[in-house]
């Protein structure tokens, strides 16, 4: 009996480590204080209504370092901190074409950690109300950010953004 439990506990992190995230809700949820939630406002001024901006989400592993040459750290950050740095990430941008520079860091537990040794650049085009989801894709030698439509998660994105906005007032 104990061997089965131990085997199951060892297999779950290994299975989860191989799961791809094709939607904001696939990123690790904030199980208590396990994972973090982030929202960055990639524009000047007060938060704008979600329907007036475009949103980039990631799988929680991809870290957007700069947008159009400006460091992400220069933007307004709304955040809840968890034990692991990965989690739900959203970047609100004005509609238009944007160049993102990003790396990745995978520290989901399970005994191993990996990270990018160099950043990649990706150009995206966002319209009002659009959600683009970026997920980590690698073949063991190189990596990229796979782009997919994240619009189906808009209700959860909106709820998380409201929660983050209220916590940082």
The answer for residues whose C-beta is within 8 angstroms of residue 117's C-beta and 6 or more apart is none
Where the chain has pLDDT below 50, the residues are 4-20
What is the per-residue pLDDT for 34? 67
Task: Give the predicted TM-score (pTM) of the model.
Answer: 0.79
What is the per-residue pLDDT for 88? 86
Bridge partner list, 122: 100
Nearest-5° Cα angle at 50, 155 to 57: 65
d(CA 148, CA 21): 10
């Amino acid at each position: 009996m104990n061997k089965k439990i131990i085997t199951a506990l060892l297999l779950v992190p290994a299975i989860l480590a191989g799961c791809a995230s094709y939607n904001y809700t696939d990123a690790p949820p904030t199980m208590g204080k396990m994972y973090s939630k982030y929202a960055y406002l990639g524009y000047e001024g007060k938060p704008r209504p979600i329907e007036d901006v475009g949103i980039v989400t990631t799988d929680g592993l991809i870290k957007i370092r700069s947008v159009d040459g400006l460091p992400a750290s220069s933007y307004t950050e709304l955040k809840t901190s968890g034990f692991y740095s990965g989690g739900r990430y959203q970047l609100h941008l004005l509609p238009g074409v944007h160049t993102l520079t990003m790396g990745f860091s995978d520290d989901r537990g399970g005994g191993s950690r990996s990270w990018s040794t160099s950043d990649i650049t990706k150009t995206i085009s966002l319209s009002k109300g659009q959600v683009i989801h970026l997920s980590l894709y690698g073949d063991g030698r190189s990596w990229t950010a796979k782009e997919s439509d994240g619009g189906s998660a808009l209700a959860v994105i909106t709820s998380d953004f409201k929660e983050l906005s209220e916590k940082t007032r």
